[in-house]
Amino acid sequence: MKNLKYLAIGAVALLFSSCESFLDTENYTEKNTSNYPQTLADAQQVLAGIYNNLSVVNANPQYSFHMVSELASDDRFGGGGSGDRLLQAIDLMMSTGTDMMRQFWLDRYVGIQRANNAIETLGNCTGYNSEDQKNKMIGEAYFFRAFYYYELASLFENVPLIVSTAGDGTITPQADPNDTWAQIISDLKTAIEMMPAQKTSSSEAGHVDKYTAEALMGRAFLFYTGFYKKTDVTLPDGSTVTQSDVIGWIDDCVNNSGYSLVPDYRNLWAYTNELTKNDYSYTKGQNLRWVEDNNAINPESMFAIKYSKFASWDTTIGYSNGYALFFGMRGGQELGNTFPFGQGWGAGPVSPGLWSEWGSAEPTDMRRRATICNIPEEVPGYTKGGWTDFVQETDYYDKKGAPISSKKADGSGYWETFEQDMYDYTTVNFQLSNIHDLVLIRFADVLLMQSELKKDVSGINKVRARAGLDPISAYSDDALRKERRWELAFEGTRWNDIRRWHIAETALTVQNNQATYFQGLADRNTTVNNGGGYAARYNATNGGFFPIPESEIALSEGVYKQNTGWESGTLYSGWR
């Protein structure tokens, strides 16, 4: 019997311990797997625990797969200060120590264990309002087990595959990657088949649904079959998921989900909020309105991490958007000098190559300036160098994931984040008050996956039309790849895209010697502490996989093996 939560008082238990022969021995004071979960309320608590794992990881975003997806790609550098070696090491695919990514490993396996428990127990609960409600909740658990393994397999490749709460006391070995991805695809298939064909209601905003599972199915299938050069996926039960199957699910998502493109691309991003837009030269007078203003629902968002104003320094720091804090402008400058962009740790400076390549390929694409801040042009008061320690700084900054400030109505200065004003904060702290959603899957991504899978232009042209661009007449992989890069920049997709397309070595090499600043002075993106360079490290790590935590290898008594490319000589000692 596995104890889940103790409610009993030890003294009371001791008092009655000798009376078991004539007392009812049913446990009424302790929740464990013999009596929990039983009711709908219990089931909702169990499901909330799975979702909570998103916030747990968000408390340490620097170790997360989403952070790796951004910094390891060719769209950003590592950045941060001289002491932020982890950020730069991720960019360079170098190590900062034996347990570089252990926190993420531990946190995600907690999420997986919670999902396993839900899959095993939610079907036994009573009090559901309908069979659809029960199936929806169980399907959500399958979705999250798939999502958490998707991140672990993408980051580490060789991971233990644990799909049950039962254990025999032995160490579960690392699974063959084919088996891990088969389980991911199988779980998503189960989620799709179980969950009702209904979009999540506004009262359950933040919950995933059948169509979210179809979208993640497309993403997982494309990565696995692309990276590992497969055509289909053999599931644990011996059945097969083919490209035709995935096309059917993606078509269903496009045609029946109820998700849609937001008409103006700029309205997806927090800088168009009602408290900022009229004071920001880029948005002033443009008749824009942020889709999340005052907790409105984003019709394009299919899967997002939701945040709240109740973040605090003790157990709930993950309730705030830690990614926005990390990607904020570095240096503690006057807010007026960086307006409308708030401040933070300076992670992920945008590669100058992205700005120039985009401008050359699509000179009239409005998304480029909607996505990237050209600092000298838009923020002329900005001072380079951060706290005199900024590494890999560039003239370009991500607008999508940025913290956003606003002017105070009385003219006395600036709010550190617009949320402090919009949501009536009583205590303000810029490190805890970024609470706009982190969107992980957008409907635009589904349209682009549809085009990629079907080799047609329908989805691409819908996305291009929203950006004010002419349609393309014929599908090509090159056109699709560019469209994904422009549309989804800084949304966590680029890293796995360049890996599955087998263009990572070429794309990453473009970062070499690009113009940067080091401690405020003109520099180049070159360091001797790089393990031979971007392409060399990508190849040495068997395609960009990061190290298994050495503590976990030790605890397994040698059952776990370290990934290729993380032997001695990979320690990143600093930029200079």
pLDDT at residue 423 in the model: 95
pLDDT at residue 27 in the model: 47
pLDDT at residue 568 in the model: 83
What residue spans define the domains of the chain? 1-36, 265-526
CB 72 within 8 A of CB 93: yes
Using 70 as the pLDDT threshold, list the residues of the chain that sit under it: 1-30, 33
CB 99 within 8 A of CB 555: no
Count CB neighbours of 413 within 10 A: 12
Question: For the segment 355-409, what is each residue's pLDDT rounded down to a tens digit?
Answer: 999 999 999 999 999 999 999 999 999 999 999 999 999 999 999 999 999 999 9
CA 55 to each of CA 156, 174, 307, 320: distance values in angstroms, whole numbers, following the listed order? 21, 26, 8, 8
pLDDT at residue 431 in the model: 94
pLDDT at residue 244 in the model: 99
pTM for the structure as a whole: 0.94
Question: Tokens 């976990």 sit at which residue?
Answer: 552
pLDDT at residue 67 in the model: 99
* Residues forming beta bridges with residue 397, ordered by sequence position: 373
114 in helix, strand or coil?
helix
Question: For the segment 66-106, what is each residue's pLDDT rounded down to a tens digit?
Answer: 999 999 999 999 999 999 999 999 999 999 999 999 999 99
pLDDT at residue 320 in the model: 96
What's the chain's average pLDDT? 94
Question: For the segment 495-544, what is each residue's pLDDT rounded down to a tens digit?
Answer: 999 999 999 999 999 999 999 999 999 999 999 999 999 999 999 999 99
pLDDT at residue 332 in the model: 84
3-class secondary structure for 252-306?
Answer: HHHHHCCCCCCCCHHHHCHHHCCCCHHHCCCCCCCCCCCCCHHHCCCCCEEEEEC
- Residue 298 φ/ψ, nearest 5 degrees: -80, 115
- Both tokens of 44, joined, read 């909702």
pLDDT at residue 30 in the model: 62
pLDDT at residue 567 in the model: 87
